[in-house]
Structure 1
Amino acid sequence: MSVAQSANDIRDRLLDAAGLSLDRLPMLHVIFDRMATYCADHLRHLAASPMYYSLSSIESGRIGDILEIYEANAIAGVFHAPEWDSHVLVGFDRDFVFTMVEVLLGADGSEPPVDEERGFSNIELRIAQSIFEQMGKALQTSFALVSDSRFKFERSETRMDFAVIGRRNNQAVVAKFLLQALNRGGEMFVIIPQSVLNPMRQTLARVLTGDSSARDPRWTKQITSEVKRTEVTLRAVLEERHLTLGEIADLKIGQIIDLQATPRSRIKLEGNDEALFWCHVGQAEGSYVLRVDDFVDQDQEFIDDVLAR
């Protein structure tokens, strides 16, 4: 073993013992936020009721201590990451599983939530397993910012003692996500051994710029279509005059108000009270028409309005 290799091994052992400083790894928050978005987008089409995913916290601790919290209260999925030569754990607590089952089977939330201590049924285990398969893609897409790795689902466990991804006293990072649906919710958690993140700590310490996220073309197309169908009211303004409240109160039916505008004056085209374009008025086939000449300078408009007041 070379001196450099020995020094690296000693440094890694010290880091393992001390634990990662999560405050210095802002990219972890970006990655897990992306995972929450992925889960919401790709599971939404499976359910009639809306579901909301959000990242609630990122913590560090020993694997055994983290798993002890979920003993007899969760289903864990073990994933193998070949490029990392390690395993990652994704888990759903009891409330998450029960809520997801109701959502996927078409419940409307009128029934009270399940509140009994029992083992998971075969249907609940199968639904959890189908969601685990989606989680592998979510992990791969989310970590693509810093590492190109696949996540292969191997098995699910209901006994946390059997959800082995390393020694129980090894340090790990756990990200916790909140699921909300049908006026109830549950928790999903992702456990990653610290030894996996140590080689990436320099990359995780800085927020990467650039949009390398994988987008769902169907979802993007649907959003674009809905935005383009939004109705906007257009108004052509020939001239604006500022009057006092007293002058407006003195207006009478039949009174003539002089305008400075002429047929050659520019007309302001507004959309939902926002100035958009300068236009000129004309006629075509007996109707008035507008020809768009230029964009409205919003900054200059603001300055002119302030000066006029």
Structure 2
Amino acid sequence: MANILSQDEVDSLLEGITEGKVPTEAAAPDSGEEVKVYDFSMPAGPVHLRLPALRIINERFVGFLRTSLPIASRAVIDVNLSSTESVKFSEFCLSIPLPSNLNIFKMEPLRGFALLVIEGPLVFSFVESVFGGKGMSRAKLEGRGFTAIETKIVEKIVKFVLNDLQQAWADVQEVKTAFIRSEMDPQFAAIVNPAELVIVNKFMIDLESGSGSMTLCIPYSSIEPIKSRFQTSFRAQGLETDQAWRKYIQKEIVKMTVELSCIMGRAKVNGRELLQMKVDDVIPLDQKIGDAIVINVEGLPKFKGYPGSCKNKKAVKISEILRQE
């Protein structure tokens, strides 16, 4: 009990501390760093690293684009995935070059909206290709918008792209894409709050004499309810056999028109004989009467058959299918 201070001693000690007569430990120095509030509802780090199925979707998307874009733009086109990353929407908007075509669309039943950005140089290359140009426009892009005709052509391209996107997602999540509107100013294309995370998929599109990028921006909040489907392996989702892609190719192939030609026979003549040829001359061929003739498909031998007639027209009857070695 002898170590207990009396009230007078406590008062004297406090007075000494206040006047600086009694030494005390120095206060921790102020670091000057601002304390930031951490939002635990926002995922941290690159989201795409935890979504392996997204890479497969993008690969399928590229495959569909390589088929549809040449049809839509009437040009030889190659498409490649450039990058996939997760950033805040505000950072993404700052990275958009101007002018660009910003297309807002829905992916039902996913909540919210998504954004498809086509850079200005690519827009003008598409327009030139549609009108028969070489995609090498030297027009100045800065400070100008898109004309009504250019906007209409891009909308046609966008519809092809959204249809391809819908098919690319089919085995992970059935979605129905719906075009909403297009903008030029990122301020009018705010699909989420600036601080929200978005998944940015950038694709490089190469035309015959130019290239440009097309970017697909999907809010993380849109796929969060179904993110477990993206975190499983490709095999687990049953995507190993791409039935949708196969059916699409088969559907397009059967629409194609091919040329069939029949070789009645061949003959060799020298230059003198060729110069002396005249009307009513007969040229003996190497085929005998009754021999089967070769039927070519786009220049390649595919069938053998016999010539004849059908409904007052010359015809050939297939007798054998040639197998390619």
TM range (shorter): 0.5 to 0.7
User: 116, 128, 145: which is aligned to 2:141?
Assistant: 116
User: 81, 106, 110: which is aligned to 1:55?
Assistant: 81
Structure 1 67/180 Cα, relative in aligned 2: closer, same or farther at 3 Å? same
Count how many residue pairs are aligned between Structure 1 and Structure 2.
223
User: 195, 200, 214: which is aligned to 1:188?
Assistant: 214
Report the residue type matching 2:107 in the other structure. Answer: A
* Cα pair 1:103 1:182 within 8 Å, conserved: no
Is 1:217–2:283 an aligned residue pair? no
Matches within 5 A, 1:247-266: none
Distance of 1:230 and 1:196 partners within structure 2: 51
Structure 1 116/155 Cα, relative in aligned 2: closer, same or farther at 3 Å? closer
Report the residue type matching 1:18 in the other structure. Answer: A
For structure 2, list consecutive stretches of 5 or more residues without a partner in the other structure. 1-38, 260-296, 302-322
Matches within 5 A, 1:167-178: 167-178=193-204
User: 158, 175, 184: which is aligned to 1:132?
Assistant: 158
- 1:94 aligns with 120
Distance of 2:104 and 2:76 partners within structure 1: 28
Distance of 2:48 and 2:41 partners within structure 1: 13
Report the residue type matching 1:213 in the other structure. Answer: A
Distance of 2:213 and 2:68 partners within structure 1: 18
User: 67, 73, 76: which is aligned to 2:99?
Assistant: 73
Structure 1 59/116 Cα, relative in aligned 2: closer, same or farther at 3 Å? same
Structure 1 47/78 Cα, relative in aligned 2: closer, same or farther at 3 Å? closer
* Cα pair 1:88 1:192 within 8 Å, conserved: yes
* Cα pair 1:76 1:91 within 8 Å, conserved: yes
Distance of 1:28 and 1:209 partners within structure 2: 14
Distance of 1:211 and 1:133 partners within structure 2: 22
Structure 1 71/46 Cα, relative in aligned 2: closer, same or farther at 3 Å? closer
- 2:22 aligns with none
TM-score, length basis structure 2: 0.61
* Cα pair 2:86 2:200 within 8 Å, conserved: yes
Could you say which structure has the greater relative contact order, defined with CA pairs below 8 angstroms and 6 or more residues apart? 1
Distance of 1:182 and 1:114 partners within structure 2: 18
Runs of 4+ in 1 over 6 A off after TM superposition: none
* Cα pair 1:54 1:178 within 8 Å, conserved: yes
1:43 is displaced (CA, Å) by 2.5
Report the residue type matching 1:113 in the other structure. Answer: R
Greater Rg, structure 1 or structure 2?
Answer: 2
The C-alpha deviation readout for 1:189-224, integer Å capped at 9, x for no partner, is: 00001112223332212113232324143433479x
1:79 is displaced (CA, Å) by 0.6
- 2:230 aligns with 204
- Secondary structure of the 1:18 match is coil
Structure 1 222/54 Cα, relative in aligned 2: closer, same or farther at 3 Å? farther
- Secondary structure of the 1:40 match is helix
1:59 is displaced (CA, Å) by 1.1
Moved more, 160-169 or 67-76: 67-76
Structure 1 or 2: more helix by fraction: 1
Report the residue type matching 1:26 in the other structure. Answer: P
Structure 1 16/220 Cα, relative in aligned 2: closer, same or farther at 3 Å? farther
Is 1:152–2:183 an aligned residue pair? no
Distance of 1:15 and 1:55 partners within structure 2: 30
Is 1:163–2:189 an aligned residue pair? yes
Distance of 1:22 and 1:219 partners within structure 2: 33
Is 1:107–2:107 an aligned residue pair? no
Structure 1 73/112 Cα, relative in aligned 2: closer, same or farther at 3 Å? closer
